[in-house]
């Protein structure tokens, strides 16, 4: 009755899903830990049915793992898993870029991507780099990647990219915030933006192989950011998802 509108708008299932995901990513549920349904009921305030639905969806999302005897546990990731997930996303986005280039994109359809590119330019070219600037960069970067993916005009591919980007450490903006405290911050941003520019140019000129290659390399910036962030572990609080790392698989 006295619930807020924002609470009433979404289903109990979604509410439970959001609450549980937050619990996992914040590290309050540790990797390997079994998730008790009744405990989740108490925490989220919804009944068991939507909690179970949320658990199934979180398993699909990749954050949970089904226990053979029943129930779910929080999934544990190695550093290698994360790097592979980033490479995987790069390969998929590379395919999307190649599809866009090979199949052709009308000037009208390319316009939103170019606008997104210009907006990113405004942020990157300014000298002072504040935390707020990084925050809006994250938003605009996500938009650029989403627009690029859609240009593939391939529903199966878009779906697969969305699923691959669902894990926070695999998403295009997963480690951008880590840059904000790194000395190499501005350099990496400039390089990333050059990748953006190149892929738009390649699509426009229908150079499929070039578009694919640059998107693959683009994703590897995230891998570089991850390694940098792990080396000087001063600001790991910016990356809550790293609580999911089990054995860092030191090389």
The CA radius of gyration of the chain, in Å to the nearest whole number, is 20
Q: Nearest approach, Cβ of 37 to a second copy (angstroms)? A: 14
87 touches, from a second copy, DNA, none (C-beta below 5 to 8 Å by class)? a second copy
Q: Which of 98, 88, 128, 114 is nearest to 196 (CA)?
A: 114
- The verdict on 213 binding a second copy (CB under 8 A) reads no
8 Å CB contact between 224 and 54: no
The residues facing 66 across adjacent strands are 72
User: How far apart, in whole angstroms, are the C-alpha atoms of residue 23 and residue 16?
Assistant: 10
How many whole angstroms separate alpha carbon 187 and alpha carbon 35?
Answer: 42
Given DNA, a second copy, none, residue 120, with its beta carbon under 5 to 8 Å by kind, binds none
Q: Compute the least distance from the CB of residue 56 to DNA, in Å.
A: 9
140 binds, among a second copy, DNA, none (CB under 5 to 8 A by kind): none
Task: Name the one range near a second copy by CB under 8 A: 22-30, 119-127, 159-167, 217-225.
Answer: 159-167
Kindly list the distances between the CA atom of residue 183 and the CA atoms of 116, 179, 242, in Å, as whole numbers in the listed order.
26, 8, 21
Minimal distance in Å, beta carbon 1 to a second copy?
23
Please name which of 134, 119, 243 lies closest in space to residue 186, comparing C-alpha atoms.
134
For residue 28, which phi and psi values (nearest 5 degrees)? -75, -20
Q: Quick one: 11 or 139, whose CB is closer to a second copy?
A: 11
Residues 21-60, mask of contacts with a second copy (x by CB under 8 A): ----------------------------x--xx--xx--x
Residues that bind a second copy (CB under 8 A): 49, 52-53, 56-57, 60, 62, 80-81, 84-85, 87-88, 91-92, 95, 99, 154-157, 159-160, 163-164, 170
């Amino acid at each position: 009755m006295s619930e807020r509108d924002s609470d009433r708008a979404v289903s109990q299932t979604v509410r439970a899903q959001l609450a549980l995901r937050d619990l996992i990513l914040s590290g309050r549920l540790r990797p390997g830990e079994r998730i008790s349904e009744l405990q989740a009921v108490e925490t989220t305030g919804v009944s068991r049915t939507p909690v179970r639905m949320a658990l199934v969806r979180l398993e699909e999302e990749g954050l949970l793992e089904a226990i053979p005897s029943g129930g779910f546990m929080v999934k544990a990731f190695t550093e290698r898993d994360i790097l592979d997930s980033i490479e995987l996303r790069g390969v998929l986005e590379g395919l999307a870029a190649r599809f866009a280039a090979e199949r052709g994109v009308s000037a009208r359809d390319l316009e939103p991507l170019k606008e997104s590119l210009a907006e990113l330019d405004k942020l990157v070219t300014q000298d002072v780099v504040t935390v707020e600037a990084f925050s809006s960069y994250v938003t605009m970067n996500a938009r650029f990647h989403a627009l690029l993916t859609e240009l593939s005009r391939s529903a199966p591919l878009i779906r697969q990219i969305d699923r691959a980007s669902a894990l926070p450490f695999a998403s295009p903006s997963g480690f951008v915030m880590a840059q904000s405290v790194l000395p190499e911050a501005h350099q990496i941003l400039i390089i990333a933006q050059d990748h953006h520019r190149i892929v738009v140019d390649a699509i426009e000129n229908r150079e499929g192989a070039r578009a694919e290659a640059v998107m693959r390399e683009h994703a590897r910036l995230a891998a570089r950011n991850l390694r940098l962030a792990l080396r000087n572990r001063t600001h790991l609080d910016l990356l809550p998802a790293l609580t999911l790392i089990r054995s860092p698989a030191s090389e």
